[in-house]
Amino acid sequence: MNVRNDHCYYHGTVRGAEDSSVVLSTCSGLSGMIALNHSAVYMIEPLANHSVSQGHAVYRAESLKIPMSTCNQHYGGENRTDKLSELVEGIALAGHGTREKRDVSRNMKYVELMVVADHAEFLKHDRDLNKTKTKLLEAANYVDKYYKALNIRVALIQLEIWNDGDKISITENPYKTLEAFLTWRRKQLRQLPNDNAQLITGLSFHGTTIGLAPLKAMCSEYQSGGVNSDHSVNAVGVAATMAHEMGHNFGMNHDSDHCCKALAEDGGCIMAAATGHPFPRVFNPCNQEDLKRYLSSGGGKCLFNLPNTRVMYGGHRCGNGYLEEGEECDCGDVEECSSPCCNANNCTLKAGAECAHGVCCENCKLKSSGVLCRSSSGSCDLPEYCDGKSESCPANFYLMDGSPCAHGQAYCYTGMCSTLKQQCLSLWGKDARAAPDLCFIKVNEAGDAYGNCGKNSTGEYRKCTERDAKCGKIQCLSAAEKPIGANAVAIDTTIEYNKQKVRCRGTHVYRPSKEEEFVGDTLDPGLVMTGTKCGDNAICFGGECRNASFLQADKCSAKCHGHGMCNNNRNCHCDPGWAPPNCDQAGNGGSQDSGPVQPESNLLVLLVLLPVVLFLGLGMLFLYWCYKRKLHSLKDVAHHPHQITVSVPTSSDSKTPSSGHANPTFQLNKTNTDKMTANQQANSVGTPRSRNSSVRPVVKPPPVPAYAPQQKSPPFSAPSSSSYPSSSVAPKPRPNPPSRPPPPRPVTKPNQIAQRLETDFPPWSLFVTALILKTSASFQKPLGLYTLNIHSRTPFFVRSLPACTRMHPVLGETLPILLSSEVVEAGLYGEE
């Protein structure tokens, strides 16, 4: 039956005592624990059948009679003889000398816990429903106290006592009992939603086992839970076991020797492998690191929403840190409240405040609708947004189990995208990877401790079929000497694969004692994790490779019209541009669960891009201004052309156009009246001259032979010079020379032309990018007495920049050319 109770459970400290901690129940007298320091821990409980009301017994925690129990794990820690009795004194450390705040902060996480007591537990308490209920409520209060040190609140929302008989088969076999309980829990989730469920049984399990739970299963629909044997009269004993098994659900391994710093006589650590006297006390840094890794990998997605306070046990009370019906805020008790927005004495908001807690509250004001309040933490997680009405971010939603991830190479399961490679990296470290499939088949067909597909209901190892082999003990390839676990050893198997020897590497955690085949308190973490892909459309589940369709992710996502995927609430989470609920209409994306996604969310992107656009715009305006300024300078220079002089021999059959080159920027004077010495001529290269300046070199005519009857007219008019006075006597004709081949025509190499161009170009030519003549173009441009013929099969470039200078040969001839800025503008494009 389901039971309720008013609020009568408290956490606190002893006034004036540092490092003190108190966990009390006032439901029927005073019952609980008072820790003055690390070693002075006292228990208090009402005296049974005492004639005087308010009679209580107070005794040291060491006096608790708790049977010796072991809780061994197959890896991650040595089989320790730490005693369960270490737990109570550990609560003193959990306080850390100050009262713990109960404010709802962005770092706080919440477990909505369901506790079930079987019929044997009811019988153990003399068929007294109230006694059974009181003990379990006290145990839940202890568990909440332990986990507060990790910024986790454990809120009991369901308490069920099977006083009329068990609803499942419960035996002394912890594996069979766990399997039956988790199956029952899943069937009840719709009617009794919870994040985690723990069964408390009055039976004792085989051997020394007092509990069993899956590893890294918190929030899982199928595996989030555990079974616990009630082995102590005091509630703190079963609380220690519950906290331990929930720790495995949180991904915590058993403590190795270097982890727990608390002395056994002062208490111990909650995650010790073995338990006994007095009882465990704290979570240590190793446990915190395990928890951090689990959460950062995507685990525990259900922990970020506030619990349903309407069904939470303990009753409504201002100051308990939970925002309950009728309260505007709750920042804890008056002495521990530090909120500037909340009145701690009556749980009301201060004047002008709209809110007091939560990530959607900033400076006592609600954030706007559509503001991102929780970004996705991985490929299987989904973002959430403020709704503008609540100070709390919506519950953390993730892709439905069985949704594809890692580009189709894996499946999402409980918000995590698990692959064989990731698991090998966690076991072996850097560069580890999954072994070939043949390794899984050969090793796991043995059905022993080193190769199996888990255990059956009787606790015996199961042989793997070929189909299930990749869901058994994981096999990796690694060059590491040993696995990462402190007590883990490598189990190597050599096989022949593709005509090569391959070393398949598995892991096993040994016990130093003779009891190797014991019943541990967790499912073997050396097995491939549930939710890992084991084939096409196949997923590992319970040591079997099953068709992924049983998770129905594809069936659910079909209603999203190809524009979204189902979340864990089986609602469509739409892609950007599509609107929920069915992603068949235009919208902003998101889901009914994640909060509204508003266009305002793009404002931040615009604010970031706007300065960049403005900067680029200003830069372009500056470059345009520079271009116009330089262009104006080039036009000014156009009236003062610059000379490039290249001397070449000419052919006698060259024709002399009367009007020069058709392009006015290329000019060649027919006469030269300047008087120029050889030095002046040499120094004239690169010197600005007027358009009418003579640019021809002065050539002295050869002597006239006496026998020459005549002489042809020179191709040029002889320049006037003082060195060559005019003669009134006509020169005698020069005879034709003897027949002989003409001298070879000098070849001007392109690099020589380029060198002259680089030398002769003025500074303004640095702004010239290129003079391009189209490919396969043919040009005939009259240049004074000459015709320039160019047949270019490749692009023809003339560039003045030294690093880019390139010149195509001009059929062996170069001409005296005047280059002005108009040439640059015209680009020397001719007719094809």
Per the document, the length of the chain is: 832
**Can 831 be counted among the known catalytic residues?**
no
Per-residue confidence (pLDDT) for residue 615, from 0 to 100: 82
CA angle 34, 36, 41 (to 5 degrees): 55
- Amino acid identity at 595: G
How far is the CA of 28 from the CAs of 14, 47, 376, in angstroms?
A: 21, 11, 46
What tokens were used for 442?
Answer: 């050969």
* CA 102 – CA 100 distance, rounded (Å): 6
Within 10 angstroms of residue 63's Cβ, the number of other Cβ atoms is: 11
The residue assigned the tokens 């320039």 is: 788
Cβ(70)–Cβ(206) below 8 Å: no
DSSP string, 129-194: HHHHHHHHHHHHHHHHHHHHTTTEEEEEEEEEE-TT--SS---S-HHHHHHHHHHHHHHHTTTS--
What tokens were used for 217?
Answer: 């299963």
What's the predicted TM-score (pTM) here? 0.60
Percent helix, strand, coil in the chain (nearest 5)?
20, 20, 55
* CA 665 – CA 686 distance, rounded (Å): 17
244 belongs to an annotated ligand binding site: yes
Per-residue confidence (pLDDT) for residue 49, from 0 to 100: 61
Cβ(675)–Cβ(722) below 8 Å: yes
Which 3 state secondary structure label does DSSP give 700? Answer: coil
Per-residue confidence (pLDDT) for residue 484, from 0 to 100: 82
Per-residue confidence (pLDDT) for residue 71, from 0 to 100: 52
- Amino acid identity at 290: D
Per-residue confidence (pLDDT) for residue 226, from 0 to 100: 96
Q: Is 706 left (phi over 0), alpha (psi -120 to 50) or beta?
A: alpha
* CA 805 – CA 798 distance, rounded (Å): 6
CA angle 694, 699, 704 (to 5 degrees): 140
What tokens were used for 87?
Answer: 């737990």
Q: How many CA atoms lie within 13 A of 458 on its CB side?
A: 3
The residue assigned the tokens 């008072």 is: 34
Cβ(287)–Cβ(273) below 8 Å: no
Residue in 78, 245, 384, 813 annotated catalytic: 245
Cβ(445)–Cβ(504) below 8 Å: no
254 belongs to an annotated ligand binding site: yes
Helix boundaries (H) for 656-749: 678-683
How far is Cα of residue 396 from the mean position of the Cα atoms in its chain?
Answer: 18
* CA 280 – CA 210 distance, rounded (Å): 14
277 belongs to an annotated ligand binding site: no
Per-residue confidence (pLDDT) for residue 724, from 0 to 100: 45
pLDDT means per 10 residues, the chain with 832 residues, are 60 71 75 70 70 64 56 36 37 37 54 97 95 94 91 94 96 92 93 95 90 90 93 89 94 82 70 70 86 86 86 84 89 85 94 92 93 88 91 90 93 92 91 95 94 85 95 95 80 91 88 44 77 95 92 91 92 92 90 73 61 84 78 57 44 45 43 46 45 48 52 45 46 59 57 47 39 37 38 40 40 40 38 37
* CA 144 – CA 242 distance, rounded (Å): 11
* CA 332 – CA 729 distance, rounded (Å): 128
Cβ(181)–Cβ(194) below 8 Å: no
Beta-bridged to residue 360, according to DSSP, are none
